[in-house]
Amino acid sequence: MAGKQHTIGEGVLASHSGERHTDRYGLAYLKVENRGDSAPVEVNVGEHAGRLGTLYAEVVEPSESDGPRRFGPEAARVGEVVALGTGELFTEAAFRDKDNDVPGVGVKPTDGRECWWMDSMALYRVRHQRVRLFFVPA
C-alpha cells in the first residue's frame, strides 16, 4: 500500500440491494450495529473526494450474526485488509431511510464501465463485519 491512509469511518459495512441488482457494486455504507434498523455512520472523505486511489476495509470485529457462509468467499478475518476497488473516491446517498439520506462511499473506475466498480467478492468478504474503511491516494 503506497501512500498515506485516510480513514473514512468505522462501522459495520453494508451495501444497498440496488447495487447488487444493477451490478454496479459502486457504493457501500457503514452502520453502527449489524441490524437492519441500525443508525448509519457518517463518512469523511475530506479533501480526497474525486481523487484516484484504492478503497480498503480492515476488519476490526467479526460479524456476530452472519454465521458460517454456505456459498461465496470466506469471510475476512480480524486484522485482514481487503482492497474493495480502485478509482475516483466519491460519496452519495446509499439510499433514503425515512426522511434521511444514508451516506455511502465508493470508488468509480476511470475506464468508463457502468458496472462492477468495486470487487463484489471483496465486498462480500467484509459485509456485516465491523471495519475501518480507509482510502489510499494513488
Q: If we measure between CA atoms, which residue out of 11, 87, 85, 5 comes closest to residue 46?
A: 5
User: Which DSSP state fits 79?
Assistant: T
The domain containing residue 125 runs over which residues? 6-137
Domain assignment present for 32: yes
pLDDT in tens, 85-97: 999 999 998 887 7
65: in domain: yes
The answer to whether the CB of 38 falls within 8 A of the CB of 98 is: no
Three-state DSSP state, 112: coil
Instruction: Answer yes or no: is 99 within a domain.
Output: yes
85 assigned to some structural domain: yes
In a domain, 1, yes or no: no
The reply to whether 89 falls in a domain is: yes
| Structural domains counted in the chain | 1
Q: What is the pLDDT of residue 54?
A: 97
In a domain, 129, yes or no: yes
Global pTM value = 0.89
Residue 62 in domain: yes
pLDDT digits (tens, 9 = 90+) for 48-80: 999 999 999 999 998 765 555 555 678 899 999
